[in-house]
């Protein structure tokens, strides 16, 4: 894959780089994207319903079972070359901010530190009523997808829910503010593996673009963000990212 000299120079000289990832960065680790995760029991379910507080209160075992099936898949996945290249970027860039829409821990397991999780984490269950973190460690999730009764909160007895941001819920304010700040102050933003369909995450590349940053999209296909990126590197993250790092930082 060939990169423009201006891209290579800008990334090489950038003092502040922001990386925004979506489910596509974990695809090559075998972790299904949000929509692709609607298989088996959850086939034909509307993801916006299944991924919402309303969906959970309508049928807690169905939603909890879906998240446990996804947690099983993350626990049995490995970071891929894209996660590792993003982690390695930190060695070359004075200030790197990794922002993810994903609820998996693959960036952290690849070595990225201080990852900003816009939509929470599948590893931080909390009480659906008092919001307190679940006090006990979760059992290992079953290999077979099934409906599962969620555990109960040790403080108030209500259902435990996934510690993620569902549709209709606000993003954690401090995480959002740090992400916004990174978007408006970076010289380069890499937007990797996201369709740009979910708000307000999709605003971050627009903020960067409007603030004059060079916004590079890495995706096998075009997305809702096409009008806000400087250029798109068409391809899989696991292939493009290591090649890009090689081209920019090895002389
Ligand atoms: C909120 C956690 C309001 C759960 C997720 C306008 C403005 C503001 C809000 C809205 C708005 N319009 C609509 C809304 C509401 C809604 C929204 O955005 N709806 C969308 C569908 C239109 N937004 C919200 O509800 C947000 N909250 O706005 O609150 C509010 C305000 C005040 C007071 C109260 C409320 C909350 C949104 C968060 C939802 N939670 N995740 C979970 O994961 O289970 S979002 C979830 O879906 C994922 O996190 C991801 O971000 C998103 C999309 O998932 P995917 O499709 O799987 O992934 P992605 O889009 O990233 O696409 C995959 C991409 O990868 C593709 O482009 C593909 O080509 C590419 N790819 C594939 N393979 C590879 C690859 N790329 C590279 N390499 C590869 N190998
Ligand atoms: Zn509680």
Render pLDDT for 198-242 as a digit per residue (tens, 0 to 9).
Answer: 999 999 999 999 999 999 999 999 999 999 999 999 999 999 999
Residue 200, preceding peptide bond in cis (omega within 30° of 0): yes
Q: Residue 162's pLDDT is what?
A: 97
Tell me the average pLDDT across 88-92: 98
* pLDDT tens sequence across 122-171: 999 999 999 999 989 999 999 988 999 999 999 999 999 999 999 999 99
Query: What atom of ligand 1 comes closest to residue 35's alpha carbon?
Result: 57
Flag whether pLDDT at 36 surpasses 80. Answer: no
119 labelled catalytic? yes
The alpha carbon of 217 and the centre of ligand 2 are apart by a number of angstroms equal to 41
Ligand 1 centre to CA of 184 (Å) is 21
d(CA 65, CA 68): 5
**pLDDT confidence of residue 109:** 98
Residue closest to 138 by CA, chosen among 197, 182, 184, 75: 75
Instruction: Please list every protein residue whose CB sits less than 6 Å from any atom of ligand 1.
Output: 22-24, 27-28, 33-35, 48, 51, 101, 103, 119, 164-170, 193-195, 197-201, 218-221, 223, 236-238
């Amino acid at each position: 894959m060939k990169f423009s000299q201006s891209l290579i120079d800008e990334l090489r000289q950038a003092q502040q780089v922001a990386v925004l990832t979506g489910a596509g960065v974990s695809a090559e680790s075998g972790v299904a994207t949000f929509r692709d995760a609607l298989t088996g029991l959850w086939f034909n379910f509307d993801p916006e319903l299944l991924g919402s507080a309303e969906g959970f209160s309508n049928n807690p075992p169905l939603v909890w079972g879906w998240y446990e099936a996804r947690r099983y898949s993350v626990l049995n996945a490995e970071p891929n070359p894209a996660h590792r290249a993003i982690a390695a970027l930190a060695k070359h860039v004075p200030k790197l901010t990794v922002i993810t829409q994903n609820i998996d821990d693959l960036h952290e397991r690849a070595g990225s530190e201080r990852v900003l999780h816009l939509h929470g984490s599948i590893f931080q269950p909390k009480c659906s009523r008092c919001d307190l973190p679940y006090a006990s460690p979760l059992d290992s999730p079953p290999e077979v997808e099934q409906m599962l009764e969620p555990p109960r909160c040790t403080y108030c007895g209500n259902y435990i829910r996934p510690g993620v941001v569902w549709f209709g819920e606000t993003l954690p304010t401090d995480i959002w503010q740090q992400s916004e700040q990174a978007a408006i102050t970076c010289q380069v933003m890499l937007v990797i593996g996201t369709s740009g369909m979910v708000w307000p995450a999709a605003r971050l590349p627009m903020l960067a673009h409007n603030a004059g940053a060079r916004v590079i999209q890495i995706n096998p296909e075009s997305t809702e963000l096409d009008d806000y990126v400087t250029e798109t590197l068409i391809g899989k993250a696991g292939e493009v990212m290591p090649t890009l790092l090689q081209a920019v930082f090895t002389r």
